[in-house]
């Protein structure tokens, strides 16, 4: 939580149209690591423990509000696009004079909590703090103009800068913090005296200097942290930075990552010791990996838990499932939501499990579908076996007791119950419950047709 003498109000400016994205989707809803850009900024703001978070929205506003309806923020409409100063002014009526105001941007998703804590800590009752960055390529950014003594004098937007000012390499990020009382007064003094005829928030820095209010700059540790996302190329650049950071955090915590550049983390990962992640693994949502879990190449794990010692072979998709310890999964297996495996279950290639439980030591090693079923322990589902759970209108449940074996290419038509120790002969289509401990065969008898000849294609 940020340390500040005054309560904190965060204002996130998110009204930009983002024409350079060339997308029907508003810029702040463009995805980064599986979540909207704006969601990342809101999450960072929440980590500061503010009294309130206000999001100023405009273009595509209802779409933005709908996508982030669950976010604990107040929404402020900027109905006219008249610049960043005007956008902040729209939010100020909701902010008491006794608060510190922190201004963030909905398209700057990588800014760190530690950086903002440092920025806020420099705000006093007569102090404005400003986040800057240094870059070899300042194109597109306002330049920080300092006095001879090193203090910040003002910010010049690139479109209004002289040639000498364009050579400055210290740039404005737009992120700043100040007492709300002072900010309210400065915003009231802004004038659209610039090439865009807009009210620039950056002009409050010159007003602060004029009032002899100290402007305390904080230089971001890395330029990527404060990169604004304006087009798909910058979005990819930010995504790559997120990927590097997520992989680094996992590796420093003890996870072995085969290639950090080919790991996608789109959520939170909890893990034990000696976890291995091969190339092109995608982890989405909340993922829990036990000790010694091995994830093969090309796997997608989404909102799932995988128990200790389990190995997931190549190209598996595990979605909202709980995989027990010491299981073998795949390759090319798929788990749909609400699937749970006990200890030591084997799921082989081209097997799909959906809304089912499988007891300890059960197996479905080849080309099978287990849907809406409850399997006991030590069951063996033969190659090509499917549980036909859908009648065209409704889903039905199948219950299979312990130690059941199904032969290859069997169809179990739900709803049925298969008793303990039962065996179902290969090629059977079972439509009634199967008694325990017996062999059940449900298929047409084999016969040979004497005198039959295969048709011969006529020559032309």
DSSP state of 242: H
56 Cβ partners below 8 Å, 6+ apart?
11, 12, 13, 14, 15, 76, 77, 78, 87, 88, 90, 91
152-200 pLDDT, tens digit per residue, is: 988 998 988 999 999 999 999 999 999 999 999 999 999 998 778 889 9
| pLDDT value at residue 2 | 46
Is pLDDT above 50 for 3? no
Contacts of 185 (CB under 8 A, 6+ apart): none
pLDDT at 1: 46
Q: Is the pLDDT of residue 264 over 60?
A: yes
What mean pLDDT comes out for the span 306-326?
A: 98
What value does the mean pLDDT of the chain take? Answer: 94
Q: Which CATH number fits domain 8-226: 1.20.1050.10, 3.90.550.10, 1.10.8.640, 3.50.50.60?
A: 3.90.550.10
What pLDDT was estimated at residue 150?
A: 82
For residue 281, CA distances in Å to 251, 272, 289, 313, 346 come to: 14, 17, 13, 11, 21
DSSP 459: P
- Nearest partner of 40 among 229, 231, 251, judged by Cα: 229
- Write out the catalytic residue numbers: 366
Tell me whether the CATH fold assigned to 8-226 matches the one assigned to 232-440. Answer: no
pLDDT tens column, 391-438: 999 999 999 999 999 999 999 999 999 999 999 999 999 999 999 999
User: Is pLDDT at 60 greater than 80 in this prediction?
Assistant: no
pLDDT at 36 over 50: yes
Percent of the chain with pLDDT over 90: 88
CATH topology of domain 232-440: UDP N-Acetylglucosamine Acyltransferase; domain 1 (2.160.10)
pLDDT in tens, 353-406: 999 999 999 999 999 999 999 999 999 999 999 999 999 999 999 999 999 999
Domain spans in the chain, listed from the N-terminal domain onward: 8-226, 232-440
The DSSP secondary structure of 59-108, one letter per residue, reads: TTHHHHHHHTTTSS-EEEE--S---HHHHHHHHGGGS-TTSEEEEEETT-
Give ∠ CA 449-455-456 in degrees, rounded to 5. 145
CB 370 within 8 A of CB 364: yes
When pLDDT is averaged across residues 29-38 and rounded to a whole number, the result is: 95
């Amino acid at each position: 939580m940020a340390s500040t003498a005054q309560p904190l109000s965060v204002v996130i400016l998110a009204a930009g149209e983002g024409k350079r994205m060339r997308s029907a989707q508003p810029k702040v809803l463009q995805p980064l690591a599986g979540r909207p850009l704006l969601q990342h900024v809101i999450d960072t703001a929440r980590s500061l423990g503010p009294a309130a978070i206000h999001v100023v929205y405009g273009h595509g506003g209802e779409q933005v509000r709908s996508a982030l309806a669950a976010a604990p923020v107040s929404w402020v409409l900027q109905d006219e696009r008249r610049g960043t100063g005007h956008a902040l002014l729209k939010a100020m009526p909701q902010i008491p004079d006794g608060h510190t105001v922190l201004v963030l941007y909905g398209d700057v998703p990588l800014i760190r909590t530690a950086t903002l804590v440092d920025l806020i800590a420099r705000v006093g009752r007569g102090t404005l703090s400003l986040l800057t960055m240094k870059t070899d390529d300042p194109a597109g950014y306002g330049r920080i103009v300092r006095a001879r003594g090193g203090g910040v004098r003002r910010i010049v937007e690139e479109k209004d800068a002289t040639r000498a000012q364009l050579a400055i390499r210290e740039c404005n990020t737009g992120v700043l913090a100040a007492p709300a009382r002072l900010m309210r007064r400065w915003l009231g003094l802004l004038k659209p005296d610039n090439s865009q005829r807009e009210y620039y928030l950056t002009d409050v820095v010159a007003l602060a200097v004029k009032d002899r209010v100290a402007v305390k700059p904080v230089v971001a540790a890395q330029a990527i942290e404060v990169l604004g996302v304006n087009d798909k190329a910058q979005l990819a650049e930010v995504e790559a930075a997120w990927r590097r950071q997520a992989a680094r955090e996992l590796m420093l915590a003890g996870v072995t990552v085969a290639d950090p550049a080919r790991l996608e983390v789109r959520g939170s990962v909890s893990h034990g010791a000696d976890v291995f992640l091969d190339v092109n693994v995608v982890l989405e949502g909340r993922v829990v990996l036990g000790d010694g879990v091995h994830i093969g190449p090309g796997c997608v794990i989404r909102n799932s838990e995988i128990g200790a010692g389990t190995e997931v072979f190549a190209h598996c998709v595990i979605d909202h499932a709980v995989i027990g310890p010491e299981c073998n999964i795949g390759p090319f297996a798929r788990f749909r939501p609400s699937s749970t495996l006990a200890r030591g279950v084997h799921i082989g290639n081209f097997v799909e499990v959906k809304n089912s439980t499988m007891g300890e030591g059960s197996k479905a090693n080849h080309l099978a579908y287990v849907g809406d079923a409850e399997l006991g322990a030590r069951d063996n589902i033969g190659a090509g076996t499917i549980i036909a759970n859908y009648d065209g209108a409704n889903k039905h449940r199948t219950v299979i007791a312990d130690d059941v074996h199904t032969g290859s290419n069997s169809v179990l038509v739900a709803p049925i119950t298969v008793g303990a120790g039962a065996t179902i002969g290969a090629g059977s289509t079972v439509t009634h419950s199967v008694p325990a401990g017996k062999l059940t065969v449900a298929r047409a008898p084999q016969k040979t047709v004497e005198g039959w000849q295969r048709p011969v294609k006529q020559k032309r």
